[in-house]
Structure 1
């Protein structure tokens, strides 16, 4: 098929192929796999394309709160998620003298009653594997680096570096902060003078992060592992531009991360690393810089980050830039963005993964509600509704992630944030938690999760988006034969 951007015809659905739109998903990260797992529950054809040749077990611990529990229950994977994760009762903030200065609660004692689920943490590779297993292998295509995209009135076409081409009706960019799909879309929109100037500015970054996960350890080695709840501890460096986190897991491992806050000079030194994704490259030098940082291990153990590095397989250690930006433009013609491709949030509190999963649920609802063989106008309207439903929640998450980042940052602003969090009245804490956890999107085309919760979910417009009704008998007979 030749993709003609000038074709804008309207068609008779009785004459054209009466079929659901085919979705091409670029990016097999958590967002892309979540969308794939959702579409697997429909009759919508889809394919996932990933530029990496294989899946690498990268990343540290990841926190998922009550806002994704309904979706995971609908997909039938919540019980397995619970079995491989730990409840996070609180975030503890300590100092280099290995003293806990204060903590703020996740209300785990009453979270299920109030929100329908608890906040839980697990190693990122475990969560990734859980979603990977929901997608049939034949739907996932590895080593597919996207070079160009072409879209128009009669479809979308992607071209890969290996010379292969794929056609579809909808293109979803779920390929991360440095999204090739976003770059191709924005290039097209710039030519048409439809791209806001702020979206043309490169992603800003002010931090570098080193992450890892140890091998399985014993409570004798790490006393904190003796508890059946996640011990999440953040330490703020006193005279150094660093903060570091440790998380105990249900697998008796310790996940860890170190954040380096960059000034103008150190930012320039890391500029060559700007375009890289999660990976072990350049991690070695940073490992040496942070080896002596003290950690709180429990009991009278006085361990350091160096001990954790020595206990961590090299393939589990990686270095990454932490950019932060919410783009204004999320879609154009048949292309739509989700997750980090359109809103890159600091990973504090798991905001990036949670919001990518929310994106997938809402976007899937609107795609599922499209007419058979939809025209461009119908697709663009669905994308507009998707962005309108998600943008306010994403902007709130962006503000929250910045505040959580400030908990371990340097300077006067960070000190004020820590003071505020430490002394915030309980009723304000509860109000903030209720607002955050009220966003609990579900899928309109699966039985709704009816788990009781005192805090009701926020209104979700896409729950009213229903799949097209096939009233014409001729169309019905055609669909039965394909």
Structure 2
């Protein structure tokens, strides 16, 4: 557990990333390239739990992987998505059937199909500072102070930084902390009803 003195604003910019999924690990790679210190907190005891299945990587995501120097390795783990994908509204009415092969012409790359666990494993394996990924850290509270942010975990550990990046999924603790602060601050435009809004999306595959 970090001491209270560790919670003081560090000389180097420091991020606390919550959630070691695809977004969290890619953010860690970006921070390393930018020279930003970070710590990554993940609630699961293992980095690649058997959650989710295959995912489709969009051309924009492939460009980011290229910028991170990881594209060739990731492409070897998957395959191009089928030429045509049919999308249904809540599993009943077909709303679109795009020709996936056209995306390479339009955007410079195809959609790429890969197992989620394989991508997570690859992202973690090539971090320059993999020891900064801490497993079994369930965040229960996020607080903001004059010297940065304070992130508390249910095991009693406390982690400080200049800012927190919430990549902890649908039921995000970080998102709820932001809504809570917004509701409490005077003059806020955030209502209680707005904080619970979500947008249902129905696809037969997962785009990243």
Q: TM-score, normalised by structure 1?
A: 0.37
2:112 is aligned to 120
Residue 104 (structure 1) shift: 3.7
Residue 105 in structure 1 maps to residue 87 in structure 2? no
2:44 is aligned to 52
SS of the equivalent of 1:350 reads coil
Pairing partner for 1:25 from 10, 17, 21: 17
Residue 350 in structure 1 maps to residue 191 in structure 2? no
Task: Count the aligned residue pairs.
Answer: 192
Please give the per-residue CA displacement for 1:326-350, whole angstroms capped at 9, x wherever unaligned: xxxxxxxxxxxxxxxxxxx555553
Larger Rg belongs to? 1
Pairing partner for 1:168 from 157, 161, 165: 161
Give the 4+ runs in structure 1 shifted more than 6 A.
none
2:172 is aligned to 179
Two-structure CA RMSD over aligned residues (Å)? 2.8
Residue 150 in structure 1 maps to residue 134 in structure 2? no
Using the alignment, how far apart are the partners of 2:87 and 2:169 within structure 1?
30
Using the alignment, how far apart are the partners of 2:189 and 2:157 within structure 1?
29
* 1:186 and 1:195 in contact (8 A); partners too: no
SS of the equivalent of 2:34 reads coil
Using the alignment, how far apart are the partners of 2:164 and 2:156 within structure 1?
18
Residue 93 (structure 1) shift: 7.5
Please give the per-residue CA displacement for 1:286-328, whole angstroms capped at 9, x wherever unaligned: xxxxxxxxxxxxxxxxxxxxxxxxxxxxxxxxxxxxxx36xxx
* 1:29 and 1:175 in contact (8 A); partners too: yes
1:66 is aligned to 59
Using the alignment, how far apart are the partners of 1:200 and 1:58 within structure 2?
26
Are residues 346 and 170 of structure 1, via their aligned partners in 2, closer, same or farther at CA, if it must alter by over 3 Å?
farther
Q: TM-score, normalised by structure 2?
A: 0.80
Residue 185 (structure 1) shift: 2.2
Are residues 40 and 25 of structure 1, via their aligned partners in 2, closer, same or farther at CA, if it must alter by over 3 Å?
same
Pairing partner for 2:183 from 178, 190, 212: 190
**Taking CA–CA contacts closer than 8 Å with sequence separation of 6 or more, which of the two structures ends up with the larger relative contact order?**
2
**Aligned pairs (5 A) from 1:233-252:** none
Pairing partner for 1:90 from 69, 84, 97: 84
Residue 195 (structure 1) shift: 5.0
Are residues 170 and 103 of structure 1, via their aligned partners in 2, closer, same or farther at CA, if it must alter by over 3 Å?
closer
Are residues 60 and 112 of structure 1, via their aligned partners in 2, closer, same or farther at CA, if it must alter by over 3 Å?
same
1:132 is aligned to 124
Are residues 93 and 47 of structure 1, via their aligned partners in 2, closer, same or farther at CA, if it must alter by over 3 Å?
closer
Using the alignment, how far apart are the partners of 1:116 and 1:45 within structure 2?
33
Using the alignment, how far apart are the partners of 1:126 and 1:57 within structure 2?
11
Are residues 31 and 142 of structure 1, via their aligned partners in 2, closer, same or farther at CA, if it must alter by over 3 Å?
same
1:80 is aligned to 73
Question: Greater helix share, 1 or 2?
Answer: 1
SS of the equivalent of 2:23 reads helix
Structure 2: gaps spanning 5 or more residues? 89-95
